[in-house]
Structure 1
Amino acid sequence: MHFGASAPAICEFRALSHARKTPIGTTSAPIRVASIPSSHPYIHAITDPHRVALLPDPPVPGAPAEQWWPPVALTAPWLSENAAEYDLLHVHFGLESFSPDELRAGLDAARRAGRPVVFTVHDLDNPQIVDQEPYRALLDVIVPFADRLVTLTPSAAAEIERRWGRASLVLAHPTLLDEAAAPVREDTAPVREDDPVLADDAVRVGIHLRDLRPNIDAESAVRAAVDAVRMRDGAGRPVEVEVLLNERVRDERVAERVLAAASGQTAVRVRRTPYLDDAEVEAWLGGLDLFVLPYRHGTHSGWVELCYDLGVRVAGTDVGHIRAQHPSEFHVVDLDDPRTLADAVTWAGDARHPSSPVADRLVSRRTERSEERGAVRDAHARLYRDAIAGVSA
């Protein structure tokens, strides 16, 4: 499924067995959902606040108030003791906080309480870890157990059916942007007090290495960028690459090697920053022509969704089902072959053309994505009603 203007917001990979279409009355009580987690932008984007009430994330002992992990609401004691407070359990993230036995105990507690379990398979490979076997063991518990499965792309649904023989409802990842925000992107480089003004005709490329989590191939990305710029030297528009790296990272030795890989380069600069909030990330991405996603492994990406909303093309490694999210806006690259990144830079630069005004495209896309989000919210509310009816039958 392509999430572009011509694609439906929702498709079903295969009809869910025993699903019953129950009309949702506008005056019915909201469905109370124990969402794992509750405080997450994606969760808010898929939730119709008029028809669904999210329980707040329970406090995590010894953790800051805003931290939801490890998710207390997925533990057997909480699910048993609070059974009267929720109608349905919907699991998104946080499996890695538990052993398979602990996860099974929590799911069993929800089932004993007569509450259906919905699992959205965002990750078939966990981006936070290297060894995937413990995570796959958790998937082997929850995927067969869940009453309903949801995922984001048809290709992920096909993999789920191949591995577990289960059907999944495919629902697009909705936009996370504020509907009130103006969908305007300038075609000139952003000016920052700490940076030189880039040439107006430069192709602007960005790479965000964040805190160097395990699935980011940071060194290879920077080296490929250096080589790609060198290959394009003198071939059309100049290229400016900015690499962002958090001040606090998981491995300072890797950070030092990243800095060394770009040392002495004028067109590839590494800038260390504090953690950027959503508005800062959007402002930075909005000034790019191409965003590079250098993943070693993964399944889906919120970065691809944000870039689509902002009109920024993506060059990424061919892992998981990321390219299936917005294939027309995604160029596959091999970090061991910098020519592929050089080609992606040309592809992104060619997209910025006077005959196709960026602002007009973004206004149309914003409307399309707002409608899609409404459809996704409606689909989740109906899925919840059907799942509850199925357990009650």
Structure 2
Amino acid sequence: MQSTATPHATARVADPTSRPIRVVSIPAAHPYVGRVSASPEIDVLDDPPVEGAPSGVWWPPVALDPSWIRDHAADADLLHIHFGTESFPPGHVTACLEAAHEVGWSVVYTVHDLEHPQLEYQAAYEAQLDELVRGADALITLTPGAAAGIREHWGRDAVVIPHPSLLSDDVTVPLVLPSAETRVGVHLKDLRPNVDAVGAVTTLIDAVERLRRRGADVVAEVRMHHAVRDPEAREAVRRLVGRSEAALLIEHERLDDLGLAIALSRLDVCLLPYRHGTHSGWLELCWDLGVSVAVPSGIGAYLEQHPDDTVSAYDLGDGASLERAVGELLEADGTSRAGSAGRGATVADRRARRVVDDAVGAAAHAELYRRVIAERAS
């Protein structure tokens, strides 16, 4: 069979050093990608429209297809894969990487998840990770712990570039009323596979009831979407909250950016309810909003995302451990209560820090892109 690589490759502009790097990002329309691509050196192509899907829906990603890549060889210099690969069967991403290399594109893969939060069974994703990690020209990840796991499993080094801000520039950080009552909350969202709803709510209620027995004025706030993936778990959560005077349940539609910022800003501590995972965008949003976070111990690299005293670990199923974690977070120097002047100052300080850190992260992406393009051209 005659290869089509030569005509595709020669159609491209030979020297990308004099213009922005043209990137096919999988996906393009994601807040994370927007932050790490916010450099004048990077030009991210729009997501191709998904047939039959509403505007703005990027999954399953149309551009992650060997034929699409060959047809658009002259339009880009590099393929950067982030999310959405679980939509495809084994072998598909290898074919995409091979097509990208045929047309002269370099390939970068950001390892966000060593365990996929949207999947209960990980075997197919683990096989796909093997394809991506072995086949990409360069790897990025978000924490040293994840980089160590990649090195141990695959013998490859990943560049560590910390998670950027996820707080939209369009969202004015909301002012909420201060309260004498301490609010410890968990948002179960739509009960995706890595959310241990029953375990997390049981642990939260136990911890809050322990704190109340010690005289603390504290309440457990549980949020959950109306539409969920696990109706049985939803009913169990409703029963758990209904039996406790220390807890309240708020069920609602999926919140927009402002609504979510308001809901999180009302909390003194936010609990992550995950049974597996690697990194958390939710944790990043809480940090942006000045909300302390309790994360499940022994899971992922959550503690490394912000290794300061506003993130603490607890053991799922152990209310006493969460009681200790909440106590530590409320007493930490970096903690600011919901609605306080200190919370406002914390948010302003962190927003200013993010401007600098996110610019550094975007520049690091551009530098990596230039390097792998040069290496492929040599």
Superposed counterparts of 1:57-68, under 5 Å: 57-68=47-58
Identify unmatched segments of 5+ residues in structure 1: 1-23, 189-199
Give the alignment partner of residue 67 of structure 2, picking from 67, 71, 77: 77
Superposed counterparts of 1:1-393, under 5 Å: 28-179=18-169, 188=178, 200-318=179-297, 319-328=299-308, 329-351=310-332, 357-393=342-378
Deviations 1:270-329 (A, max 9, x none): 111001112111111111110000111000000111111111111111211111101222
Paired residue secondary structure (1:270) = strand
Q: Give 1:169 deviation, angstroms.
A: 0.6
Partners of 1:314 and 1:159 in 2: CA distance: 24
Range 367-376 or range 173-182, more displaced: 173-182
Q: Contact 2:176–2:262 (CA<8 Å) still a contact in 1? A: no
Paired residue secondary structure (1:253) = helix
TM-score of the aligned structures, taking structure 1 as reference length: 0.86
Q: Contact 1:185–1:287 (CA<8 Å) still a contact in 2? A: no
Paired residue secondary structure (2:109) = strand
Paired residue secondary structure (2:329) = helix
Paired residue secondary structure (1:167) = coil
Partners of 1:122 and 1:243 in 2: CA distance: 27
Partners of 2:37 and 2:109 in 1: CA distance: 15
Q: Contact 1:243–1:270 (CA<8 Å) still a contact in 2? A: yes
Aligned residues between the structures: 357
Partners of 2:336 and 2:358 in 1: CA distance: 29
Partners of 2:234 and 2:139 in 1: CA distance: 38
Partners of 1:261 and 1:139 in 2: CA distance: 37
Deviations 1:217-251 (A, max 9, x none): 00111111221122122424311111111010112
Identify unmatched segments of 5+ residues in structure 2: 1-15
**Match for 1:71: what amino acid?**
P
Paired residue secondary structure (1:388) = helix
Range 126-135 or range 329-338, more displaced: 329-338
Q: Give 1:49 deviation, angstroms.
A: 4.8
Q: Give 1:73 deviation, angstroms.
A: 0.7
Q: Contact 1:243–1:268 (CA<8 Å) still a contact in 2? A: yes
Greater relative contact order structure (CA < 8 Å, 6+ sep): 1
TM-score of the aligned structures, taking structure 2 as reference length: 0.90
Pairwise CA RMSD: 2.0
Deviations 1:91-123 (A, max 9, x none): 001111112211111111001001000000000
